């Protein structure tokens, strides 16, 4: 009989349990403070335009440093952008203007031609990488290939300075050495960033178009001669 009464009152023993007033009884559905702070850190809606520009410039500068010291890193792949490649492409195209081939109408590289060669070549290499089983996205590959033009752009600046002193055999030897080093630098840097994203048995098929891409740009720099 007593067992039947206890079964009919399953919560009878809870009548003697006291609940402290310090323990909240009601639930709380508010967002945690830590989560809101993290969201505020990544929110740029209320950020001043000056800070946004400076932050983007610092990001571009950090990517230039990664190209100067190439190593297997995911920095260019993780935070990709196209501002740096656009800046380098425009700078290179402007430096290649005013050559002797332009003035003699011999088919020298015009601004639009350099622009198309750089971007169209990058797109072709990216599509080739994707077709061969690459794991990086389209714009990540464009970012890496564009940023790795920086050594060749620096080589173009050096060649313009060397050409101010004349265009003899010594000048050509110096320009050849500078362009060769920059070409190797660009090729090595790009392959260092893209190596881990390709199948091991197809890396050579990916590196070969990259080699040709930077070789064409290096050839345009080496054969440039200023107009008299």
Q: Which of 9-13, 102-106, 134-138, 203-207 has the lowest mean pLDDT?
A: 102-106
Position with higher pLDDT, 110 vs 160: 160
Dihedral sign of CA atoms 148, 154, 155, 156 in order: positive
Instruction: Give the C-alpha separation, 194 to 187, whole Å.
Output: 11
For range 207-222, the mean pLDDT: 91
Instruction: Give the C-alpha separation, 5 to 39, whole Å.
Output: 56
Please name which of 214, 216, 152 lies closest in space to residue 179, comparing C-alpha atoms.
152
pLDDT(48) > 70: yes
R_g over Cα of the chain: 30
**pLDDT tens per residue across span 27-39:** 444 444 444 444 4
3-state class (DSSP) for residue 121 = helix
Tokens of 114: 């350099």
pTM over 0.75: no
Q: What is the pLDDT of residue 64?
A: 83
Contact predicate 95/157, CB 8 Å = yes
Give Dmax over CA atoms of the chain in angstroms: 118
**H or E element that contains 149:** none
Residue 201: pLDDT band (50, 70, 90) is confident
Position with higher pLDDT, 50 vs 17: 50
Q: How far is the first Cα of the chain from the last one, in angstroms, to the nearest whole number?
A: 118
**pLDDT tens per residue across span 62-74:** 888 878 877 655 6
**For residue 133, how far is the Cα from the chain centroid?**
20
Instruction: Give the C-alpha separation, 31 to 46, whole Å.
Output: 20
Q: What is the pLDDT of residue 50?
A: 79
Mean predicted lDDT score pLDDT of the chain = 76
Contact predicate 139/178, CB 8 Å = no
Position with higher pLDDT, 160 vs 103: 160
Tokens of 155: 């080589």
Tokens of 67: 């190209």
Instruction: Give the C-alpha separation, 134 to 198, whole Å.
Output: 5
Contact predicate 151/189, CB 8 Å = yes
Q: What is the pLDDT of residue 65?
A: 81
Instruction: Give the C-alpha separation, 11 to 36, whole Å.
Output: 41
pLDDT(168) > 70: yes
């Amino acid at each position: 009989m007593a067992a039947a009464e206890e079964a009919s009152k399953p919560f009878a023993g809870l009548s003697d349990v006291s609940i402290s007033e310090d323990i909240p009884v009601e639930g709380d559905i508010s967002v945690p403070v830590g989560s809101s702070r993290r969201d505020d850190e990544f929110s740029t809606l209320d950020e001043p335009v000056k800070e946004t520009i400076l932050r983007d410039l610092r990001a571009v500068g950090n990517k230039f440093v990664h190209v100067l010291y190439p190593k297997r890193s995911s920095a260019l792949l993780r935070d990709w952008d196209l501002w740096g490649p656009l800046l380098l492409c425009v700078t290179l195209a402007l430096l290649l203007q005013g050559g002797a081939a332009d003035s003699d109408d011999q088919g020298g590289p015009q601004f639009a031609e350099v622009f198309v060669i750089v971007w169209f070549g990058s797109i072709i290499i990216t599509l080739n990488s994707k077709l061969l089983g690459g794991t990086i996205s389209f714009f990540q590959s464009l970012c890496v290939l564009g940023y790795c033009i920086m050594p060749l752009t620096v080589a173009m600046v050096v060649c313009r300075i060397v050409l101010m002193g004349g265009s003899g055999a010594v000048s050509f030897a110096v320009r050849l050495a500078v362009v060769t080093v920059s070409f190797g630098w660009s090729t090595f840097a790009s392959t260092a960033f893209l190596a881990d994203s390709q199948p091991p048995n197809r890396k050579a098929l990916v590196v070969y178009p990259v080699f040709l891409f930077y070789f064409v740009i290096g050839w345009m720099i080496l054969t440039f001669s200023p107009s008299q």
